[in-house]
Amino acid sequence: MGESEAFEEFIKTAHNPKYARVSRQTTTRDIQKYFTDCKAKLVETFGTSVNCVCLTSDIWYGNAKEDYLSVVAHYINSDWQLEKRVLGLVLIDVSHNGQNIADRVAYVLTDYGLTDKVFAVTLDNASSNASAMLKLKPILSHYLGFDVTDEPEYASFTLSGVYYPTSPLMIHYLVKIALHLKNYANDIHIRSVVQPMIDKYNKYWRGIPLLYSFAFILDPRAKMKGFTRVLRRLGGLTSTDYSTYLVGTRARLTDVYNKYEEKYGAVRLRRTDPPVLSGKSRSAWDEIYDDDGAAGLVSGSLPGTLNMSRDTSATSLLHAVRSSVSASNASELVSYLDCDTVNHLTDDFNILNWWHQHKLTYPVLSIMAKDILTVPVSTISSESTFSMTGRIIEERRRNLKPEMVEMLTCIKDWEAAEARLQQNVEDKELEQAFEELYLD
């Protein structure tokens, strides 16, 4: 198009009378240089200002009958703001098996110098992705100095196939959904339809991945107190006894913190007492911290109920774990968990800002929180990349070389990120529908 007389006339008439058209070869060289310069700046940022990245990846079946594999990095910048960058959109013109997927992901990470900085990878639950992770784990297991393949309890760090919302607002709505499902299940006429939904709900909530429990505990409004109460509510809804899981989660959280202590202990400069923050109006957190409501919902007669005030065995187990923590009582993790929760029980509370403000109080734990809170729980960022790529490879541009497709996709994403436009919603009607979805 840029070489056509019509395009040249349009630019001269509407924008710049002195415009002179250039060849596509010149345009290609200009794009290549611009991409290379932007990429070099991004590599420098990763090398100097980013502790770790969390990845998503997926495969796109393009309009030009060519398939592309995306690699998208999520990280928190030096100002404690969440960032996203498309690192690669690589042609995958071979079988979509685990080895080929792993090879392309590893190539992109090596190209950006990120092999030793990967904390988590989020993929969909395709069998080829599971195979790819088995091949990638030994390569990507160096960030905290241990091989996750040898520690199965950390498997959920690197393979996430299901979205597990952990915000109190989402838990609030899911509790309501569960109650409705139970009520409908008593109706014999629709039980056949509702029962599979109940089974699916229970399947995903009975086995909660450790990583999402860690994220919830690292919300200063929750800590172990809120986590215990959430498990109590879920125990009543799914007929599951979470007592052992509760104790095990704290033990595993301590294990992970000790890894961070080994890696980042030298960053500790000074410790200050955590400030007390006053709260605003309560919202979905009422469902968690309302003792009467929680007791009425799960009632002691329900099987699988977790009630720490009455479950003496769970209480003694928890006490035993606290007593056996390898770090001293002065450790940041113990100090954080033993402090009162933040009385700011609203859903507009910015967790990253809180950890940023308390990084001197918890210099090591804040790094751990930053890493865990960066992990994306779905592959939506890859899907967003594919939507953008679909506008690049349209009907009249099917002859673009894969290298040019990747450069254009990355440049568009990086420029949107710099302008803070990545999260802009294009479909305003859909956005409004979601805004009004939970109106009572």
pLDDT of residue 267: 77
Q: What is the pLDDT of residues 41-62, one digit of tens each?
A: 999 999 999 999 999 988 887 6
Mean pLDDT of 275-285: 51
pLDDT of residue 155: 35
Q: What is the pLDDT of residues 160-210, one digit of tens each?
A: 333 334 455 555 666 666 666 666 666 666 667 677 777 777 777 777 888
pLDDT of residue 177: 66
111: closest CA among 59, 57, 39, 49? 39
- Which helix (H) or strand (E) segment holds residue 121: the answer is strand 118-122
Mean pLDDT of 217-235: 91
pLDDT of residue 378: 73
Greater model confidence, 245 or 294: 245
Q: How confident is the model at residue 240 (pLDDT cuts 50, 70, 90)?
A: confident
Q: How confident is the model at residue 234 (pLDDT cuts 50, 70, 90)?
A: confident
For 208, list phi and psi in degrees, rounded to 5: -85, 125
SS (H, E, C) the chain: CCCCHHHHHHHHHHCCCCCCCCCHHHHHHHHHHHHHHHHHHHHHHHHHHCCCEEEEEEEEECCCCCEEEEEEEEEECCCCCEEEEEEEEEECCCCCCHHHHHHHHHHHHHHCCCCCCEEEEECCCCHHHHHHHHHHCCCCCCCCCCCHHHCHHHHHHCCCCCCCCCCHHHHHHHHHHHHHHHHHHCCCCCHHHHHHHHHHHHHHHHCCCHHHHHHHHCCCCCHHHHHHHHHHHHHHHHCCCCHHHHHHHHHHHHHHHHHHHHHHHHHCCCCCCCCCCCCCCCCCCHHHHCHHHHHHHHCCCCCCCCCCCCCHHHHHHHHHHHHCCCCCCCCHHHHHHHCCCCCCCCCCCCHHHHHHHCCCCCHHHHHHHHHHCCCCCCCHHHHHHHHHHHHHCCHHHCCCCHHHHHHHHHHHHHHHHHCCCCCCCCCHHHHHHHHCCCCC
- Share above pLDDT 70 across residues of the chain, in percent, rounded to a whole number: 65
pLDDT of residue 395: 62
pLDDT of residue 168: 53
Q: What is the pLDDT of residues 254-267, one digit of tens each?
A: 999 999 999 998 87
Q: Over the chain, what is the mean pLDDT?
A: 77
* pLDDT tops 80 at residue 324: no
- Share above pLDDT 90 across residues of the chain, in percent, rounded to a whole number: 39
